[in-house]
Amino acid sequence: MGIFDSKEEKQKKEEIKLIKEKVNKQGISNLIDDKDLLKVIIEQNECLIGIAAANAISNAGMVGDAVVITHTNLYYDRIKQYFKT
């Protein structure tokens, strides 16, 4: 990361920086087609679940890890009923 980034990594970071600036200026809902807003919400929730699980695991210890993994697996088990077949 940083000095040792490849050309592709540097380009990706620059793209992300530009996207963040655009979102900050215009707001994410103004940049996304209305038909895709629900998909964005789902992607955001998935990201938040991953962040929360990683945070809980890093702070919980061995027993907490098992609880977090169990609840995360329960979430995925429940949500699979909504997947397209």
Asked if residues 29 and 37 have their Cβ atoms less than 8 Å apart, the reply is yes
CA atoms within 13 A on the CB side of 73: 6
pTM for the predicted model, two decimal places: 0.59
Query: Which residues, 6 or more positions from 31, have their beta carbon under 8 angstroms from its beta carbon?
Result: 22, 23
Per the structure block, which two tokens stand in for 49?
């679940």
> Predicted confidence band at 2 (pLDDT cuts at 50, 70, 90)?
low
Angle, CA of 35, 42 and 47, to the nearest 5°: 140
For the chain, domain boundaries: 1-31, 33-85
> pLDDT-based confidence at 85, cuts 50/70/90?
low
Q: Are 67 and 60 in contact (CB under 8 A)?
A: yes
The residue type found at 84 is K
Q: What is the model's pLDDT at position 75?
A: 80
